[in-house]
């Protein structure tokens, strides 16, 4: 099996002038390069054959794309979506109720320059959105209607599927918009169900992650900290926690949730300008540790705890690197 591995870890550390002094952990696989500017990954687990799982990643440009990679880091052109106008963040969920008899896995992403979100089925990569769902349509301020972050939420309360969307900038309250995704005989629609979420006003909010089992949404307020809210609209808009800001050098970026088979749960967050990742206990929000994963200026990251291949026997962690590539790690190296 040919794998794009790190051949010179020293070069990776030196090139980025790392600001941390943490021991470097090398990735197990490095993907082939995108054309422009990598940003955010999502991991689809093939339940029939985990070794054929797919890592999707955004390439953020006016001539952008959602790249699909196999677990060796090779581009799967037949699953790659091109011709996009600055796709920013991406997420996916399983078992969206498409009609009375059909459930499909879905990939959602923001398309900033078209001021919309997109929805595709996986693994056939068919559009389900009629060309896109407009978002922030009630906003007229120039940068407040440009979608950036997105996370899907599959409710365990009633099975509803939602998209929670952030933007380039926004108000001090009601920064995030939450849309319910509904399917009927005419197709899939996205309907706004609530506006929520505080903002410090310092930088922007991009990275969003939802814990479906707990019904909780976390998001990074880049210059301030990590916010925690209910993802279930019926539970209201009260902030549940705000934590972690003191552990970051500057931007608080990509975040993901790891629920391990042994019952331990963590939140992993990119410390972008420190070129590292900060890990918190999900239940207590306490700092656990910080890791140097040999990446530079990481925006997005994602994790699955399913064993996929002998290389990723403990699960897979994916991080964007600031050289047009994504880095893959066996989860056992981190936790």
pLDDT at residue 136 in the model: 98
Domain ranges, ordered by start, for the chain: 85-243
Alpha-carbon dihedral sign for residues 297, 314, 244, 26: negative
Residuewise pLDDT in 10s, the chain (335 residues): 444 444 333 333 333 444 679 999 999 999 999 999 999 999 999 999 999 999 999 999 999 999 999 999 999 999 999 999 999 999 999 999 998 889 999 999 999 999 999 999 999 999 999 999 999 999 989 889 999 999 999 999 999 999 999 999 999 999 999 999 999 888 999 999 999 999 999 999 999 999 999 999 999 999 999 999 999 999 999 999 999 999 999 999 999 999 999 999 999 999 999 999 999 999 999 999 999 999 999 999 999 999 999 999 999 999 999 999 999 999 999 99
Q: Which two tokens stand for residue 5?
A: 């591995």
Backbone angles phi, psi at 52, to 5 degrees: -105, 20
pLDDT at residue 142 in the model: 85
pTM: 0.94
Contacts of 106 (CB under 8 A, 6+ apart): 92, 93, 96, 119, 120, 121, 122, 128, 152, 161, 181
Residue range 85-243, CATH number: 2.120.10.30
Give the burial class of 26: count Cβ atoms within 10 A of its Cβ; 0-12 exposed, 13-18 middle, 19 or more buried.
Answer: middle
Bridge partner residues of 198 (DSSP):
173
Widest CA span in the chain:
57
pLDDT at residue 4 in the model: 41
SS3 3: coil
**CA 216/CA 64 separation, integer angstroms:** 31
Backbone angles phi, psi at 10, to 5 degrees: -60, -40
SS3 161: strand
Phi/psi zone of residue 166: left (φ > 0), alpha (ψ -120 to 50 degrees), beta? beta
With contact defined as beta carbons under 8 Å apart, do 293 and 269 qualify?
no
Which residue has 């197990």 as its token pair?
28
């Amino acid at each position: 099996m040919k794998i794009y591995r790190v051949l010179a870890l020293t070069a990776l550390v030196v090139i980025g002038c790392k600001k941390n002094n943490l021991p470097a952990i090398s990735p197990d696989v490095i993907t082939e390069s995108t054309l422009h500017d990598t940003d955010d990954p999502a991991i689809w687990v093939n339940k029939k054959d985990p070794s054929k799982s797919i890592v999707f990643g955004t390439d953020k440009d006016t001539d952008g794309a959602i790249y699909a990679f196999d677990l060796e880091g090779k581009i799967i052109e037949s699953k790659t979506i091109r011709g996009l106008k600055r796709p920013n963040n991406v997420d996916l969920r399983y078992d969206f109720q498409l009609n009375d008899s059909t459930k499909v896995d879905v990939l959602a992403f923001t398309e900033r320059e078209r001021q919309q979100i997109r929805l595709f089925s996986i693994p056939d990569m068919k559009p389900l959105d009629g060309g896109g769902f407009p978002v922030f349509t009630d906003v007229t301020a120039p940068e407040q209607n440009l979608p950036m972050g997105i996370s899907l939420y599959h409710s365990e309360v009633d099975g509803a599927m939602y998209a929670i969307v952030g933007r380039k900038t926004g108000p001090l309250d009601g920064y995030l918009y939450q849309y319910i995704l509904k399917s009927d005989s005419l197709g899939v629609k996205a309907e706004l169900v609530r506006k929520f979420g505080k903002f410090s006003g310092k930088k922007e909010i991009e990275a969003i992650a939802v814990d479906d089992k707990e019904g909780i949404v976390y998001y990074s307020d880049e210059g301030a900290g990590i916010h925690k809210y209910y993802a279930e609209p019926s539970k209201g808009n009260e902030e549940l926690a705000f934590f972690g800001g003191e552990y970051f050098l500057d931007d608080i970026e990509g975040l993901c949730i790891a629920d391990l088979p042994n019952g331990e749960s963590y939140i992993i967050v990119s410390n972008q300008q420190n070129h590292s990742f900060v890990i918190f206990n999900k239940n207590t929000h306490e700092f656990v540790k910080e890791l140097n994963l040999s990446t530079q200026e990481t925006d997005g990251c994602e994790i699955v705890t399913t064993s996929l291949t002998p290389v990723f026997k403990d699960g897979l962690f994916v991080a964007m690197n600031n050289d047009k590539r994504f880095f893959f790690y066996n989860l056992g190296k981190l936790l």
